[in-house]
Amino acid sequence: MKTLDLISLFSNAIDNAIEALDCIQDTDDRILNIALDCDPLDYQFIITNTIKEGHNLNLDLLFTDGYTTKVNKKQDHGKGLVIMKNIISNTMASLKLIYITLSFSINH
């Protein structure tokens, strides 16, 4: 995978996690975990964050162009996961999303 692709995957995932944390009023409930691992043949990053209770996350639409869970739906929202999906489909990488009540994880 090209370095720029890896940076794009990582930065989109981090950006989404931070924006999700910004929606949680009580800062004590905001949790962001980042784990990185690499060896000569592979690398992996896992990003886990809490999400707002009652957050409406439609996993079927998650990778659809323009789909966003953001309250302030700006024109540039709804692109990050589509960009990630395109990078993954054009490389030998994989992407695993895990949604657990009140948390969201991206494992690459």
Query: What is the full per-residue pLDDT of the chain (108 aa) written as tens digits?
Result: 788 998 999 999 999 899 889 989 999 999 999 998 888 887 888 899 988 887 777 778 888 888 877 666 666 667 888 888 899 899 888 888 777 766 666 676
Number of H helices and E strands in the chain, helices first, is 2, 4
Q: How many domains does the chain have?
A: 1
CATH number at 52 reads 3.30.565.10
Tell the residue number behind the tokens 């700006």, with chain if given. 74
**pTM listed for this prediction:** 0.80
The answer for residues whose C-beta is within 8 angstroms of residue 68's C-beta and 6 or more apart is 77, 78
Cβ pair 99, 57 in contact under 8 A: yes
**Domain residues for 99?**
3-107
